[in-house]
Structure 1
Amino acid sequence: MSDHIGITGLEVTTCHGVLPEEKTSPQRFLADIDLELDLQPAGATDDLQRSVSYAEIAQAAEAILRGAPVDLIENLAERIATMCLQRREVEAATVTIRKPQAPAGVPFHDAALGGPSVTVHRAQDRPVVIAAGANLGDRQATIEAAVRLLGQVDGLTIIGVAPFVETDPVGGPEQPDYLNTVLVGRTRLAPWTLLRHLHRIESYFRREREIRWGARTLDLDLIQLGDPAEGTEWTVDGDLQLPHPRATERAFVLQPWSRVDPGAHASDVDGQVRPVVGILEQLGTDGVREARR
């Protein structure tokens, strides 16, 4: 469930409406804005950069309301919702525009707050890529169960799961071979929210992090959020790095990724946006095999 930031009763006296006189005679418009986002990072760090400024949202909404006259309050609500979603931390926005003095030809009980209103709800819809792997226990059963749990995450829709591949371990101590796959989907969630869900599911399968690149019951990695080919890719530094800094160097990620989404693009180690298929062709597929059934 998302957290919320609310702005209620933003009032502007201006000119909007279908009738000619509404274009020249100002009347009151009120806006309520509800933003859905993950406030845990901001609450834990006291860092505004991990949230959104309600002052900036309110001022931008006021500027839209004070703009050139339009016919419909639906247009105002849509424009304010679009503005809110331009703050990429915002998962969804609900905007209500009220017009208490609308010339509707009927009386309203509350002259201050009554009258017609329009409410729109708009949400982010970003492509997301997640890699899954395991080399302990019943690897296939674990990954399949993890995929089902990911499908239950509110705000995340799994669209495709690549055929499994078996891969040699990369780095770390001697250990069994891995079973790997890649999932593609759509999400309204911010990356740190997704990462917490991935860690929660890993913990459910008793994932331990004592040895770097060590054997594991389940490994879920957030590879990419957004689409670099469309200029919508998230880039994040710190404890969470996006795009995943080693994904384009790992055939066990690229090979299943190219199978589930042949037209996918990724940012390579030099920051160049390239087709995943092309990166894989250059890298090769040594150590990656079709999984045994």
Structure 2
Amino acid sequence: MTDRIRLTGLEADGTHGVLPEEHLRAQRFVVDVTLEVDLSAAGASDDLADTVSYAEVAQDVVEVVEGPHVDLVETLADRIARTLLRRPPIEAVEVVVHKPDAPIPLRFADVAVEIRREARHRVVIALGANDGDPGHTLAAAVRAVAGIEGMRVDGVSDLYETDPVGGPEQPVYLNAVLVGHTRLSPHTLLGRLHEVEADHGRVRQVRWGPRTLDLDLVQHGDPGAGDDVVCDTADLVLPHPRAHQRAFVLVPWAQVDPRALLRVADEPVPVAELVSALDADGLLEGVRTRNTWQPSW
């Protein structure tokens, strides 16, 4: 079950309502928010960077309530939810907006609108294997990723055969790229991907050595929409620092999502253009279409 942070009884005045006088006269609104967040990292680190600032959440809510007029409390609640979902690592949010002074000509205790919204981030995951039965492993990995709570697979590329680069002598790789959407934060999703790798016998010993299964989080968010995560920590670098140079990532990615963008040097660049640049430099020879496949998820 996802961890939760609750902030209740936050008051602010706003000019929201259908009646003409409500457009002009500020009224009291009371807001409760419940944030669904994976707090395991914060519990271990005792670092504010691994959780959510309650003060900043409260300020977001107040700014929406005190902001531009809307007729419906339902719209106000939706705006609050979508504003809060822009704050990582919030995965989902429940918002209750109370309008205790609503212009109802009857005696009542309260009127409230309650909604729940989930984050929806585009994600790109590169899959690779060259030890054991790679084809079987990759098909099983697609199903396992699709089974992660909060993850939805939208598509998987064809299967590609790739010559290994660097490291000890080893068999060729099979590679593919999976695209989808998730409500999970980057660190949480990465942890789930490591669990899938471990379930398939992945042991991190020899750098660039043979792999039973490799799952790399390439991108979290959409550079075109400006909501992609850019980070550089000891545990995670996004976008993947070498993705723009890796033909075995770019070729299948462009195949499954021809309109994909990757942030390179702080600029969104079409993945198809990156593939063309590698082709012009003769760097696609080591990547070959193995076959089409139809992994289930």
Note whether the superposition's TM-score is higher than 0.5.
yes
Secondary structure of the 2:224 match is: helix
Deviation readout 1:212-261 (Å, 9 max, x if unpaired): 11111100000111122332221110221111111111111111111101
Task: State whether structure 2 residue 199 is matched by structure 1 residue 204.
Answer: yes
Q: C-alpha displacement at 1:150, in angstroms?
A: 0.7
Distance 1:22 1:194, change over 3 A: same
Task: State whether structure 2 residue 62 is matched by structure 1 residue 95.
Answer: no
Task: State whether structure 2 residue 156 is matched by structure 1 residue 157.
Answer: no
Counterparts in 2 of 1:275-290, with a 5 A limit?
275-284=270-279, 285-290=284-289
Q: What is the alpha-carbon distance in structure 2 between the residues aligned to residue 267 and residue 21 of structure 1? A: 48
Q: What is the alpha-carbon distance in structure 1 between the residues aligned to residue 112 and residue 238 of structure 2? A: 41
Question: Which of 252, 259, 264 is matched with 2:260 structurally?
Answer: 264
Q: Give ranges in structure 2 of 5+ residues lacking alignment.
A: 293-297
Q: What is the alpha-carbon distance in structure 1 between the residues aligned to residue 116 and residue 7 of structure 2? A: 15
Q: How big is the alpha-carbon RMSD for the aligned residues of Structure 1 and Structure 2?
A: 2.1
Q: Give the structure 2 partner of residue 185 of structure 1.
A: 180
Distance 1:229 1:79, change over 3 A: closer
Secondary structure of the 1:291 match is: strand
Counterpart of 2:269, as a letter, is: R
Counterpart of 2:239, as a letter, is: P
Question: Which of 221, 239, 243 is matched with 1:243 structurally?
Answer: 239
In the alignment of these two chains, the number of paired residues is 287
Task: State whether structure 2 residue 221 is matched by structure 1 residue 222.
Answer: no
Q: Give the structure 1 partner of residue 295 of structure 2.
A: none
Q: What is the alpha-carbon distance in structure 2 between the residues aligned to residue 179 and residue 217 of structure 1? A: 11
Q: C-alpha displacement at 1:66, in angstroms?
A: 3.7
Counterpart of 1:39, as a letter, is: L
Deviates more, 1:49-58 or 1:160-169: 49-58
Secondary structure of the 1:165 match is: strand
Q: Give the structure 2 partner of residue 107 of structure 1.
A: 107
Deviates more, 1:124-133 or 1:56-65: 56-65
Q: C-alpha displacement at 1:280, in angstroms?
A: 1.2
Q: C-alpha displacement at 1:14, in angstroms?
A: 5.6
Task: State whether structure 2 residue 212 is matched by structure 1 residue 213.
Answer: no
Q: Give the structure 1 partner of residue 62 of structure 2.
A: 62
Q: C-alpha displacement at 1:69, in angstroms?
A: 5.3
Distance 1:95 1:200, change over 3 A: same
Q: What is the alpha-carbon distance in structure 2 between the residues aligned to residue 96 and residue 13 of structure 1? A: 15
Deviation readout 1:81-103 (Å, 9 max, x if unpaired): 12212213222221111123323
Secondary structure of the 2:152 match is: strand
Q: What is the alpha-carbon distance in structure 2 between the residues aligned to residue 73 and residue 116 of structure 1? A: 10
Question: Which of 123, 131, 135 is matched with 1:128 structurally?
Answer: 123
Q: Give the structure 1 partner of residue 162 of structure 2.
A: 167
Deviation readout 1:156-212 (Å, 9 max, x if unpaired): 111010000111112111111111100011112111011001000000011011111
Q: Percent identity?
A: 51
Distance 1:49 1:27, change over 3 A: same
Q: C-alpha displacement at 1:127, in angstroms?
A: 1.2
Counterpart of 1:219, as a letter, is: D
Q: What is the alpha-carbon distance in structure 2 between the residues aligned to residue 158 and residue 219 of structure 1? A: 17
Q: C-alpha displacement at 1:104, in angstroms?
A: 2.9
Contact 2:158–2:291 under 8 Å retained in 1: no
Q: What is the alpha-carbon distance in structure 2 between the residues aligned to residue 104 and residue 34 of structure 1? A: 28
Q: Give ranges in structure 1 of 5+ residues lacking alignment.
A: none
Distance 1:206 1:71, change over 3 A: same
Deviation readout 1:27-48 (Å, 9 max, x if unpaired): 5422110111222222222111
Deviation readout 1:45-86 (Å, 9 max, x if unpaired): 211122211112113323333446543222321222122122
Contact 2:125–2:219 under 8 Å retained in 1: yes
Distance 1:282 1:107, change over 3 A: same
Q: What is the alpha-carbon distance in structure 2 between the residues aligned to residue 20 and residue 259 of structure 1? A: 54
Distance 1:12 1:252, change over 3 A: closer
Counterparts in 2 of 1:22-37, with a 5 A limit?
22=22, 27-37=27-37
Contact 2:118–2:183 under 8 Å retained in 1: yes
Secondary structure of the 2:58 match is: helix
